Amino acid sequence: MILLGFVLAIVIGASLLTLPFAKIGPGGASWIEALFTAVSAVCVTGLVVVDTPAYWTGFGQGVILLLIQIGGFGVMTFASVIGLTVIRRMSLRSRLNAATETKTLGLEDVRALVLGIVRISLVIEGAVAIALTAQFAIGYGYSLGEAAWLGVFHAVSSFNNAGFALFSNSIVPFATDPLICLPLCAATILGGLGFPVIMQLKKHLRRPLKWTMNTRIVLWATVFFLVLGTVYVTALEWNNPDTLGPLDWPGKVLAGFFQSVQTRTSGFNSVDIGALHPATLLGMDVFMFIGGGPAGTAGGIKVTTFAVLFFILVAEIRGEAVVNIFGKRLSRAVHRQAISVVLLATALVMAATVVLMLLTDFELGPVLFETVSAFGTVGLSTGITAQLPVAGQLVLILLMIVGRLGPITFASALALRERTLAYELPKERPIIG
């Protein structure tokens, strides 16, 4: 149901984008342009094959904004919101679908979670929109109407980790402006934490002892990767004349921090991604692959999955029989889930990279960056997406859908049936390592 819901939203969105008045100039958008844009918006990725402000009309941009909001909520969550608004209740099927999509552990709190998602999204998006509108109007001389549209669009795009921008070179013109970059970073970070974490912080911000293992892992991992990414990008690009080199040191730090935040899953860029050093791109591949927090707008394998594998490794090195995290024992079922997600994600990214290299003449670095960006629903690009053949763009479309739904959810949706064995085979151990 979740997979079909996303497909339906994509089809409707693509159909709207093919209308003649959705595109600037005569005629309508081609089917691949409309499909790719709709998938990128619903999957809150941000990869584009056409220049958003120069290609789409106000109507087309409005469709993209709506698709971003639906994709950020989650199609099933959005449908639940409509049901609660229209008929004031949720059916059992709606609660099951919303619970699965939002990774809720029980059905009793689904309604509260759905309403909480709506409130949190609107409050954060509204606050960021006001801050951006003020700076666009006062600092850059846009009319109030233009500034408001720019503020709302980029607030929704950043909180939902979509990365769509209404400037042809993304946020590059504002690379050293903290009043533009920091609100976008704040929205991206909050969206990437995941709704369960935000709601728990709202309720128990001053009582960390009541935080769940999930909240603790997401917060610690988020801080760690933000700091690591900032240091990594800033240090490697400090003297690069095509990226951070021309900026003063506060501008370099701000741009390095901004790119670290956006690499997590949002996809805005304040420097030319194609001009980054190959070592920087490789490090960003890792950050994009890991992604942000679960049950939110972030993509990737999620920081919780990475943390689980890390603590399994630590326990194995220490010779411990169980894995303990923050004073709690980790369920063995989670071990299998984490390993499955990482193996499926790695196989998918590698297969897509090989296919794109066979279809094009691009080198490994840019191709790998593009596939990881699509899978991690990040949207950063070295500039080759629009140059890919239709077959290559279809590969990225598949990656974006799988990345948004998650490898396990997607694989489960394609499975023909569940299989329960009534017996167990005798144990035997192969040699490992």
CA dihedral (157, 159, 162, 163) positive or negative: positive
How far apart (Å, rounded) are the C-alpha atoms in residues 60 and 57?
5
Q: What is the pLDDT of residues 33-67, one digit of tens each?
A: 999 999 999 999 999 999 999 999 999 999 999 99
Q: Identify the residue with better confidence: 234 or 423.
A: 234
Mean pLDDT across the stretch 344-352? Answer: 95
pTM here?
0.91
How far apart (Å, rounded) are the C-alpha atoms in residues 155 and 5?
25
The domain segmentation of the chain, as residue ranges, is: 2-307+331-414
Mean pLDDT check: name the lowest of 172-186, 194-208, 296-310: 194-208
Nearest to 129 by CA among 141, 119, 140, 121: 121
Specify the amino acid at residue 84.
Answer: L
Mean pLDDT across the stretch 301-318? Answer: 94
Maximum average pLDDT range among 74-88, 202-216, 280-294: 280-294
Mean pLDDT across the stretch 172-186? Answer: 97
